[in-house]
Structure 1
């Protein structure tokens, strides 16, 4: 079920719950309330830390490694996309790629916000530092190959 379908179902259940309470059918209303609570829990966003709680330490470390890669790649791609888009637009170039870059940027920004939403200052600071270092390494590699 998509998020939109879940939200629609949730609204239907709420209306049904109100109708049952109004007609004083408390037993059925409680069953509907339980379904509402369950659906709300499914729709509620969970932090990455909460999702990894029940796994082994080895699995957590591997997931953290992959998570950092995803965030760093997103940050690097966003930076490159912004620079590319800016350069194209400042030179009056309106190519299809500019539209695609704008679409990608929207998604990348939502991924990049995740470390900050964790409300963990050390994770956020580490992420920023890793992104800066990775950006320098990538720039150096590109410059090295362009110089050949």
Structure 2
């Protein structure tokens, strides 16, 4: 069984008690269909940022539940047919991601072992002096 989250808005034309009855009716329907409610909130009044079906306010209900995916269509049909519900959103709740662990760093000693070899290689290279450079420039310019 998957975990679902259902959020729906109930018309403000209903009283608070009637909105609570509607929410409990949907909860009872879920349990009747074999689902279990993990988390449910009572309807709370909200002011909407824009009007939905000519309503500027609504009662918002949030709930989490488990239900067989085959029976989910029946629940959606019941919500769609109810004219007291302005809008709903039903999503599959995914388990929280694990925090990424810090990557292991290489030991500092391994880096230091490579450094002295590089220094020795640099010392063995022949340094070019300014006098040699000037002589080569003069030869090139004479030609």
- What TM-score do you get using the length of structure 1 for normalisation? 0.19
Q: Report the structure, 1 or 2, having the larger strand content.
A: 2
Q: Which has the higher contact order (CA 8 A, sep 6+)?
A: 2
Q: Report the structure, 1 or 2, having the larger helix content.
A: 1
- What TM-score do you get using the length of structure 2 for normalisation? 0.19
Please identify the structure whose Cα radius of gyration is greater: 2
